[in-house]
Amino acid sequence: MPSRATVSRPEPTPSILPALELIAAENAAVILRLLADAEATLDSAAARLLAARSVFVFGVGRSGLALKMTAMRLMHLGLRVHVVGETTAPAIGPGDVLLVASGSGSTGAIVRAAEAAAAAGAGIVAITTDLGSPLGGLAKVTVVVPAARKQDHDGQVSAQYSGGLFEQSVVVIGDAIFHGLWKASGASAEELWPRHANLE
Amino acid sequence: MPSRATVSRPEPTPSILPALELIAAENAAVILRLLADAEATLDSAAARLLAARSVFVFGVGRSGLALKMTAMRLMHLGLRVHVVGETTAPAIGPGDVLLVASGSGSTGAIVRAAEAAAAAGAGIVAITTDLGSPLGGLAKVTVVVPAARKQDHDGQVSAQYSGGLFEQSVVVIGDAIFHGLWKASGASAEELWPRHANLE
Amino acid sequence: MPSRATVSRPEPTPSILPALELIAAENAAVILRLLADAEATLDSAAARLLAARSVFVFGVGRSGLALKMTAMRLMHLGLRVHVVGETTAPAIGPGDVLLVASGSGSTGAIVRAAEAAAAAGAGIVAITTDLGSPLGGLAKVTVVVPAARKQDHDGQVSAQYSGGLFEQSVVVIGDAIFHGLWKASGASAEELWPRHANLE
Amino acid sequence: MPSRATVSRPEPTPSILPALELIAAENAAVILRLLADAEATLDSAAARLLAARSVFVFGVGRSGLALKMTAMRLMHLGLRVHVVGETTAPAIGPGDVLLVASGSGSTGAIVRAAEAAAAAGAGIVAITTDLGSPLGGLAKVTVVVPAARKQDHDGQVSAQYSGGLFEQSVVVIGDAIFHGLWKASGASAEELWPRHANLE
């Protein structure tokens, strides 16, 4: 691990607006591609989550955090949802759906979980950059995100670090799936609100 | 708590593309406003995080998950970072910075943490929709996000549910701060990569 | 915060067996006192957890980790269980039970959660050293542990650091409640096993 | 997954004292065996943790929660500690120590992490029931706990469910290592106290 002391302390002040513009432009481009290509997979992913007995979500690192944001919203919608690795997540089984996100589609822990879920009779919904990846092969529905993978360091797909653009896309896709399901449900915001955690 | 059984199971299939367009448009509008208004506060927030002895992040719910995404990237950059509530987070003290996010700026647990951090000699950097909120009053730097708060259910600011737009903005702002700091550091992606967790 | 450099690096090697003997003796003494005094409260606590619509657990620091160990076992037993602060914990309400642990019985975050839970119609089961504490006042059932509180630094009740003995007791009490409920249920180990998380 | 409805609701009230006695007796027996057999390994484990550049802890399920209790105490002692899987845990490397616990010593995720840690130049300290297990083979120091493994359902070693006795032992061993290191350090409780998290 490089020493923490190697971070340079630049004069002058870091400049954040160009970074914000870059991120906005990259996200807009991904969303345009999804609008053009992903209607069927997004609708199918949403329908499978809605029909699941229980939804389980699993990702590692920042993709996992993005999926937890999605999981919380699906709980607000009234679905039964678990995060793999949290204390009270039970066994997955037939009728359940495992929602996973992996930029490469080949993250070891996620592929193993997807294999175990499939063996237990659950369906897999995957978000990944690579339809031909192991996760793409295991999933019933694969939402393909046209973004860089973690070690695409050459900046041809994204000038952001590592899987940043992919992880931002997972947040947006999760929230779009939630929003579409919410609107289709006919429930008002006031009907969802009482499900929010009330002890913190 | 409403019964889980009240979620309607709509025919036909939910439609996700309109939701994706809505989210994209709302995010673009927020970013345009930040580009117009927030240069000084974003640069100042970044500079304070960089200069901190240790950075602590704290949010509840989805804002907290968004800040964890930021925390992970600041660790990749070589900063010393802790998430309040995780097992090994120590005491905060002089020279440290607490980064918080709260749509309303008045979430009880966050205001209490900010007060305790200020009393311990740490500086506060806040992301909120309300500069005049308690958090705005406590913070050295307040990034103001022009987005709805959790209980703005009338949809005048955002048609998304609850604080969705705010939480998406926290993800983007955190990643913009990281990207700006990274570029200012002069480090290559390959120099950051060895800091990524290597045991999962 | 004291510098990390202040930890002395002793010659010779640290000696762990005396510490193990001390912990064993202190735990044995606590359990003898519970066996003498706590039959009614332990049985009542177990009965309330079993009868709850959903069980929520909440503690901070090491007590919170001990309660998560209990929560996992109650899930294995087939109860509906949530950990306050985890992603998918919903709102608490009438018919639910909040299980809390606090050595002093006056930890701010826990007292606030217990007040909110009581206001929402849930019952409180508390594990604490102090029956006369705010938590003792809020709880339907209070299991009183004859152990030191976090800042009882004089070593009269326990020679262990801070709330160590209390936190060990929470682990043991949680496991005893589980074991008693399991035996009363008549289920075999093989019947519980399929509920264990199967994706990690 | 068995239906939640299969939990019987027994008349009369569950009886917890016999469970408490059983757990106390089983723990006492394990500790007697450790006192007789484990002096060298416990002292060596403690010395390695103290000498580590950073300590990483990793376990799954209840063993993992027990190790988080240990990790928090090692942080209070002034060591640099990370929990694998928490947001800000960096890469492990030479000079670091990975502390793991697995009843069987063959839990897939833990063995993979230990292999990766060893390949990165870190030392492994393992707590397990089986010295001849894959973890025992990877570890520099193995503390052997004479307790049942998770699927020893026949009750010959422990009448408790699954790895309960092992997990209780991990809590006690972690606290004994902490206590021994603390006493060897010569620091007072008041010197450790300021390191406790002060924002929750």
User: Per residue in C85-136, pLDDT tens?
Assistant: 999 999 999 999 999 999 999 999 999 999 999 999 999 999 999 999 999 9
Contact A85, A100 (CB under 8 A): no
How many other β-carbons are positioned within 10 Å of the β-carbon of residue C2? 14
pLDDT in tens, D115-145: 999 999 999 999 999 999 999 999 999 999 9
Measured CB to CB, residues of chain D less than 8 Å from chain A are 1, 65, 85, 87, 90-91, 93, 108-109, 112
Residue A9 scores a pLDDT above 60: no
Cβ partners under 8 Å of residue B14, min gap 6: A43, A46, A47, A50, A180, A181, A183, A184
Catalytic positions of A are: 167
User: What tokens does D70 get?
Assistant: 């240990």
Round the average pLDDT of chain A to a whole number and report it: 93
What burial letters (b/e) apply to A12-49, b meaning 16+ CB within 10 Å? eebbbbebbebbbebbeebbeebeeebeebbbbbbbbb
Of A11-25, B24-38, B124-138, D87-101, give the lowest mean pLDDT range. Answer: A11-25
What is the spatial order of strands in the sheet that A55-58 belongs to? Answer: A81-83, A55-58, A97-101, A123-128, A141-144
Provide the shortest C-alpha distance from residue A95 to chain D (in Å): 11
Tell me, what's the pLDDT at C9? 47
- Cα–Cα dist A15/A29, whole Å: 23
Instruction: Kindly identify which residue of chain B lies nearest to residue D117, measuring between CA atoms.
Output: B199
Give the pLDDT confidence score for residue A5 in this predicted structure: 44
Q: Give residue-wise pLDDT tens across range C29-69.
A: 999 999 999 999 999 999 999 999 999 999 999 999 999 99
Q: What is the dihedral of CA A78, A141, C80, C97, to 10 degrees?
A: -40
Full set of structural domains in chain D with CATH: 20-188 (3.40.50.10490)
Q: Do A93 and D65 touch (CB under 8 A)?
A: no
Question: How confident is the model over A150-188, as pLDDT tens digits?
Answer: 777 777 789 999 999 999 999 999 999 999 999 999 999
Give the alpha-carbon dihedral of D106, D110, D115, D119, to 10 degrees. -160
B198, B168 in Cβ contact below 8 A? Answer: no
Chains that touch C (3 or more CB pairs under 8 A): A, B, D
Distance CA C45, CA C177 (A): 8
* pLDDT, average across residues C178-191: 96
Task: Work out the pLDDT band at C147, boundaries 50, 70, 90.
Answer: confident
Report chain C's C-alpha Rg in angstroms.
Answer: 18
Residue pair A59/A67 in contact (Cβ under 8 Å)? The answer is yes
List active site positions of C.
167
Q: Measured between alpha carbons, how far is residue D84 from residues B173, C187, D59 in Å?
A: 27, 35, 8
Interface contact flag, B172 A167, Cβ < 8 Å = no
Q: What are phi and psi of B84, to 5 degrees?
A: -60, 130
- pLDDT, position C10: 46
Q: Indicate the residue type of D24.
A: A
Closest partner residue to B77 (CB to CB) among A7, A72, A195 is: A7
Length of chain A: 200
Note the pLDDT of residue C12.
Answer: 55
For the full predicted model, state whether its pTM sits above 0.90. yes
Nearest-10 crossing angle of helices A17-37, A39-51: 80
Q: What is the pLDDT of residue D144?
A: 97
Q: What is the pLDDT of residue D180?
A: 98
Given pLDDT bands bounded at 50, 70 and 90, which one contains residue D192? Answer: very high
Backbone torsions φ then ψ of D181, nearest 5 degrees: -65, -40
Q: Report the alpha-carbon distance of residue D24 to residue B16 in Å, rounded.
A: 56
Pairwise CA distance, residues B136 & C171, whole Å: 41
Q: Decide: B197 and D84 in contact? Cβ < 8 Å.
A: yes
DSSP string, C136-165: HHH-SEEEEP-S--TT-TT-SS-SSSTTHH
Q: Find tokens 């007590």 and name the residue.
A: C63
Chain A contact probe: residue of D1, D65, D96 with most A CBs at under 10 A: D1
Of A168, A187, A191, the CB nearest to B171: A168
What is residue D58's predicted lDDT score, i.e. its pLDDT?
Answer: 98
Token pair, residue B39, equals: 């240069």
Tell me: pLDDT of C13 over 80.
no
Kindly give the confidence (pLDDT) of every residue in chain B, 200 residues in length, as a single tens digit, with 9 standing for 90 and above.
344 444 544 445 799 999 999 999 999 999 999 999 999 999 999 999 999 999 999 999 999 999 999 999 999 999 999 999 999 999 999 999 999 999 999 999 999 999 999 999 999 999 999 999 999 999 999 999 998 777 777 777 899 999 999 999 999 999 999 999 999 999 999 999 999 999 97
E strand or H helix at C123 = strand C123-128
Confidence of residue A12 (pLDDT cuts 50, 70, 90): low
Residue D143: partners with Cβ closer than 8 Å, 6 or more residues away: D34, D38, D41, D42, D45, D125, D126, D127, D128, D173
* D-interface mutation test, from C20, C86, C153, most D Cβ less than 10 A away: C20
Residues of D in contact with C193 (CB under 8 A): 151, 153, 162
> From B4, which residue of chain A is nearest by alpha-carbon distance?
A78
Task: Give the CA angle between residues D190, D64, D102 to the nearest 5°.
Answer: 120
- Nearest CB among A88, A116, A120 relative to C82 is that of A88
Strands D55-58 and C81-83: unpaired
Q: What is the CA A167 to chain-centroid distance, rounded? A: 7
Report residue C150's pLDDT band, with 50, 70 and 90 as the boundaries: confident
Which chain B residues contact residue A146 at CB under 8 A? none
Strands A97-101 and A123-128 turn out to be: parallel
Strand order in the sheet with B141-144: B81-83, B55-58, B97-101, B123-128, B141-144
Per DSSP, what are the bridge partners of residue C99? Answer: C57, C125
Percentage of chain C modeled with pLDDT above 90: 87
Asked whether the beta carbons of residue A84 and residue C200 sit closer than 8 angstroms, the reply is yes
Percent of chain D scored above 90 by pLDDT?
Answer: 87
* pLDDT of D12 above 70: no
Question: Looking at the partner chain, which of D180, D192, D193 has a beta carbon nearest the beta carbon of C14?
Answer: D180
